[in-house]
Amino acid sequence: MRPALTIAGLLAAALLVSCAHRPSLAPQPLAEADAAVERFIAQGQLPGAAVWIERVGHGSHHRAYGQRAVEPAPEPLDEATVFDAASLTKPVVTATLVQLLRERGQLDLEAPLQRYLPGCGGADKAGITLRLLLTHSSGLPSGLPRNGAGDWAGKDDALRIACDLLLAAAPGTQFRYSDVNYILLGLIVERTSGVALERLAEQALFQPLGMKDSGYLPLRRMDVSRVAPTEKLPDGQVLRGEVHDPTARKMGGVAGHAGLFTTTADLARFARMLLAGGVGEDGRRLLSEQSVALLTTPQSPPGLAEQRGMGWDIASPYARPLGSLYPPTSFGHTGFTGCAFWLDPTSRSFFVLLSNRVHPTAGTNVLPLYGELGTLAARAAGL
């Protein structure tokens, strides 16, 4: 028995030495990140927020700040708060599901839009492929018209209006960030899979990854008190558990461009999967390495200065969370409600900011905070 004990002791000592030499997140940038969020709250740019900063295998820092709600009554914010993630829906849900269907042989990314949505537009849209939709280079305008489309509701009306839109540029010739691209992709995912978008996201994405608080239509799954409210509408109603994006709201709360509600802890799980090349924390593969590469490395048409993966931003005017230190191989996205998510595969680090900066009214500006947190998160990871 004595040799076995000696060997066990040596192994334990080696493990302790290994852990002792494994660098953790740098504390000073984390303290500065906390101060930055609190400063923006004090300036009235947002009522509260939740932040998660992590370098996988080296530790994480996560906190909640400020108030979950200020109207009709103040409520403290905690880390279990569920936020309307707005356009984070695009890369986290829709683009991921597109890749899962590609892996199943149900979608061809180079195929024309009209293969999957027959009758969507005429010859002007014949050159739009799924790749161009995913990289915001389809030539479609940025959103469905707020006025002039009549009183409409539902996905069929949204499809009709989107397909009738005039192109703002020839397909593949210009970058234009567009909700319409992902509205169409969400409809393609539903029609191709034969499963409602919210159910497919739950079955194929959230459940396998253990993202227990994520999904569309949160009030079907949880008490309204857990959800951060967003804007106060002209009629006095405060949106809470109902999607903030007006187009997604008209579509029933489920759309390819908006509608995801989630937490920082759930998005941290998603980040670890991407940084592990598509493998979840339980060791099961969710995405192939090819899918991860298509999502997160440049896939835009040649000649465009703006670079996007098939879902994630890499280098565009919207890449504020990149900060000043993350390398050009990093990627991420933002959301109108005050959300930012940026990941770096080189250091296997990331940060998540979720907030409801549009509560109780829109008009605030947290874009500088995105860049500040990106730089601080990179510093904390040792970049």
pLDDT confidence of residue 149: 53
- Provide the greatest CA pair distance for the chain: 85
Q: For the chain, give every domain's residue range.
A: 26-89+196-380
pLDDT confidence of residue 146: 73
pLDDT in tens, 159-169: 999 999 999 99
Predicted TM-score of the model (pTM): 0.93
Q: Which helix (H) or strand (E) holds 313?
A: strand 313-315
Query: For residue 142, which of 167, 110, 113 has the smallest C-alpha distance?
Result: 167
The Cα 216–Cα 113 span in angstroms is: 25
- Residue partners of 156: CB distance under 8 A and separation at least 6: none
Positive or negative, the CA dihedral 331, 337, 141, 96 is: positive
Which value, in Å, is the radius of gyration of the alpha carbons in the chain? 22
The Cα 90–Cα 79 span in angstroms is: 23
The fold adopted by the segment(s) 26-89+196-380 is: Beta-lactamase (3.40.710)
Amino acid at 253: G
pLDDT confidence of residue 20: 41
For the chain, residues with pLDDT lower than 70 are: 1-23, 147-150
pLDDT confidence of residue 327: 98
> Do 339 and 354 meet the contact criterion of CB atoms below 8 Å apart?
yes
